[in-house]
Amino acid sequence: MPAEVHVTIRDETDIVTARQRGRELAAIHGFSKTEQTFIATAISEVARNIVAYARRGEIVLATSQDQGRPCIVVVARDEGPGIQDVEVAMRDGYSTSKGLGMGLGGAKRLMDAFDLISAVGKGTTVTMKKCVR
Ligand X SMILES: Nc1ncnc2c1ncn2[C@@H]1O[C@H](COP(=O)(O)OP(=O)(O)O)[C@@H](O)[C@H]1O
Determine contact, residues 45/95, Cβ cutoff 8 Å.
Answer: no
22-81 residues in contact with ligand X (CB under 6 A) are 45, 49-50, 52-54, 78, 80-81
CB of 80 to another protein, least distance (A): 17
80 touches Mg ion by CB under 5 A: no
103 touches Mg ion by CB under 5 A: yes
CB of 19 to ligand X, least distance (A): 15
Interacting residues toward another protein by CB under 8 A: 12-13, 16, 19, 23, 32-34, 36-38, 40-41, 44-45, 48, 92, 99-100, 102-103, 105-106, 109-110, 133
